[in-house]
Structure 1
């Protein structure tokens, strides 16, 4: 089950369609409409499993995604107007370059008929489309973008692995089971500006050590390029199985001003969004909660059509505390692009600086079917029966103990009575013993002599 996870996982994607692209180019506030969800069945399996003498095991975990139109609100063939991530991102990245370089890029963009907004299908936006701009950028600024020919937000997400994880087996110390020893051979990453932010903490996000305390849990997320810490919210049940619910604290994506330990993730903007440009080819990308939930209100106000809510946009993990196995989970993240007018690049028009939401996705899964039945029977039902049986046996033992005590007391009285009678009898016999064998005295009648 650890190698080939039997739990059904789903990737749910919601795209933000820009409804007023021409007005945005003139400096207006962007207006978006959420499209979707587009649902994909996600299969996970581990390969290259290697055990080591220091009680660790390494593996590659692959994921495969298959579109589920029956669960989706729309198809992959639908067209959606979205920001041209490649062009607008490159413009911001080249903002501080010499003017002649930006002039060359602007001319190349015009020759390739590139615009600030594109009208592409869902499938193209997510899984890639042919774009000659990639080769042009690589020709002008070699090495800036490693992709060639095809670009998509999730182009490297399907049929790929999340890196080489090495985790503890817990053979000698069960409290360390599943804890990450290294990722891609690294004890810590080098994306961020502080040792604390670069640390690889917790597990790989699948399981945690057993006998959990209601405090917090951590896991390393290659997609977010960092370790993430969730805090205990409440105890509950999932289909009869007791769970601890862990949620994201408000400080998870806070900036360094509001939460100093996050200073290492800067340069920062408003609280509630994290700059991931250092692990995304220096592109001006930010991650956040969906609809900027738990973020600075100015981020929501800058884009029309966002409606953050705790019920729909908060992430959570429901974990069985005894085993450390998640019973129900939904990890939600939003991908955002910082875009603005860049002098010298005419295609950026008069776009006002804004953190533009592109899409948000949720990876979710829950234990169900035969796995849930087996889990419930072995880890909930049988222990509960044994727990009740001990009180039943204790209740049955009380009258038995009392009866045994009464019997012992009764036997003791009988023994004392028997011993007393026997003693009296023996004493009587002892007093009569000297006279045994003698005849009673004969009275001589002197009258008879007369």
Structure 2
């Protein structure tokens, strides 16, 4: 990692963390306005079999705590681990105080780059003298540092508070709105952006309304970005024998107004070239910027800053594949890269000569694909209308045949009445009853008797 000129970012091995089978929903409340409110808990477990390295591997990366602690930040109601440092307290200090911070950094051996184990950087966290120094400052209770370590997912794993409170439509009034996010943290707009950029639109990312078309846009709200993002139809894709529509994220998701003027409200101050999204307001003022992995679909200026970037559509695009009739996700690949803005600080010797770079820290991919067992159930659900139609037609045909047979039998009975026990036929087909024959026999007998009597 060079700190003068172009930075070098070498992609480390892939470290896979397996998420629990389902997102656990907690504090579920069914509301009278046909919405449901809940929080969710996500848990990840390191998957050694699908990883190319171990959590004990050492990785050299940018000293994020030191970088963020030197950024001038606005006063905010609640600190984040990235701003809960001495730099946060010194944001308005003058030359002499900032020089004091510079000397403090030197005395505790701070460097621009640090080497830590993967497990520490991701989940376990690591202690840092700057955090300890920030904890020693006399701060109000609202600005007390609630963390003792730094890690990208430290204290997030298993937390039911991190993702916030969701309130979604059940679809009882209109199935076309099922799954839509009505409020997040009791609001239908965010406090992190202004104007239309503050609106909360779309779903929570787990279910979409049915009857999706190729011309439709798929929208979801991302709690990590604190904004709604939309996807456009790109192609068809088959998952476990089920045909789905694939919607992919385009440049507009990471645009700050360069390509789409309506995205200018995402700038949060200085607008940077398209390709990175400023989420500093969402991350308590930390200089954090989100992009696609390897600056995919980003302005060339970002690729020129860092060596080792190899954007690839197949590996780095963000997409959602939906079954169009039900709106059920078949395959999802959420891919983003976290970048930290490294900039010069003339009064702090540690960062006096560094170039201005959007430095890639890590990129992640969250994959979710429908398992075979669930796909079989969905196939049955999709085939139910066809099965019902076939059964209905079959029953109608059987009913028609039965009715026709019954009618034919009735006609035959009327034309040729059936024989009863008292009926018989003569040799020439003439029908006679027994009562007409018996008198004839009687007459013959009487006649004989009469002759004998004479």
TM bracket (short chain): 0.7 to 0.9
Encode CA deviations 1:45-66: one digit per residue, 9 max, x unaligned.
1011111111011011100111
Secondary structure, aligned partner of 2:251 = coil
Which of 70, 73, 90 in structure 2 is aligned with 1:91? 70
1:157 pairs with 2:156: yes
Which of 346, 351, 356 in structure 1 is aligned with 2:354? 351
Encode CA deviations 1:123-166: one digit per residue, 9 max, x unaligned.
11112111121132355695778443211111142111311101
Q: Report the CA distance shift for 1:147/1:84 in structure 2 as closer, same or farther (over 3 A).
A: farther
Deviation at 1:34, TM superposition (A): 0.5
Secondary structure, aligned partner of 1:233 = strand
Deviation at 1:110, TM superposition (A): 1.4
Q: Greater CA deviation, 180-189 or 87-96?
A: 87-96
Deviation at 1:254, TM superposition (A): 1.1
1:201 alignment counterpart: 201
Secondary structure, aligned partner of 1:258 = coil
Deviation at 1:172, TM superposition (A): 1.6
Q: Report the CA distance shift for 1:313/1:60 in structure 2 as closer, same or farther (over 3 A).
A: same
Secondary structure, aligned partner of 1:263 = helix
TM-score (norm 1): 0.78
1:303 alignment counterpart: 306
Structure 1 gap segments, 5+ residues each: 1-19, 408-450
For the 8 Å contact 1:137–1:144, the answer to whether it is kept is no
2:114 alignment counterpart: 118
Deviation at 1:209, TM superposition (A): 1.1
Q: C-alpha distance in 1, partners of 2:171/2:370?
A: 23
**Superposition map of 1:145-224 within 5 A:** 146-161=145-160, 162-192=163-193, 194-214=194-214, 215-224=216-225
Deviation at 1:364, TM superposition (A): 0.9
1:134 pairs with 2:168: no
Q: Greater CA deviation, 249-258 or 271-280?
A: 249-258
For the 8 Å contact 1:285–1:337, the answer to whether it is kept is yes
Secondary structure, aligned partner of 2:330 = strand
Encode CA deviations 1:347-389: one digit per residue, 9 max, x unaligned.
1242110100000001111111321211122224x44555677
**Greater share of residues in strand:** 1
Aligned length: 378
Encode CA deviations 1:263-306: one digit per residue, 9 max, x unaligned.
11113211010111111121111001000000001101110000
Q: Report the CA distance shift for 1:292/1:145 in structure 2 as closer, same or farther (over 3 A).
A: farther
**Superposition map of 1:211-250 within 5 A:** 211-214=211-214, 215-250=216-251
Deviation at 1:392, TM superposition (A): 9.3
For the 8 Å contact 1:138–1:144, the answer to whether it is kept is no
Q: Greater CA deviation, 137-146 or 342-351?
A: 137-146
Q: C-alpha distance in 2, partners of 1:261/1:326?
A: 29
Secondary structure, aligned partner of 1:251 = helix
Q: C-alpha distance in 1, partners of 2:237/2:316?
A: 20
Deviation at 1:202, TM superposition (A): 0.8
Which of 321, 325, 329 in structure 2 is aligned with 1:322? 325
Secondary structure, aligned partner of 2:13 = strand
2:102 alignment counterpart: 106
Encode CA deviations 1:151-206: one digit per residue, 9 max, x unaligned.
111114211131110111111211111111111111111101x2211111011110
For the 8 Å contact 2:321–2:332, the answer to whether it is kept is yes
Q: C-alpha distance in 2, partners of 1:390/1:303?
A: 65
1:258 alignment counterpart: 259
For the 8 Å contact 1:39–1:67, the answer to whether it is kept is yes
Which structure exhibits the higher relative contact order, with contacts defined as CA atoms closer than 8 Å and separated by 6 or more residues?
Answer: 1
Q: C-alpha distance in 2, partners of 1:390/1:35?
A: 59
1:269 pairs with 2:277: no
2:316 alignment counterpart: 313
Secondary structure, aligned partner of 1:118 = strand
2:420 alignment counterpart: none
Q: C-alpha distance in 1, partners of 2:143/2:318?
A: 33
1:50 pairs with 2:46: no
Which of 272, 276, 284 in structure 2 is aligned with 1:281? 284
Q: Report the CA distance shift for 1:285/1:347 in structure 2 as closer, same or farther (over 3 A).
A: same
Secondary structure, aligned partner of 1:35 = coil
Over aligned residue pairs, what C-alpha RMSD do you find? 2.7
Deviation at 1:237, TM superposition (A): 2.2
Q: C-alpha distance in 2, partners of 1:197/1:179?
A: 18
2:45 alignment counterpart: 66
Secondary structure, aligned partner of 2:32 = coil
Q: C-alpha distance in 1, partners of 2:323/2:365?
A: 21
Q: C-alpha distance in 2, partners of 1:257/1:246?
A: 23
Deviation at 1:341, TM superposition (A): 2.3
Q: C-alpha distance in 2, partners of 1:366/1:151?
A: 32
TM-score (norm 2): 0.78
Q: C-alpha distance in 1, partners of 2:395/2:272?
A: 64
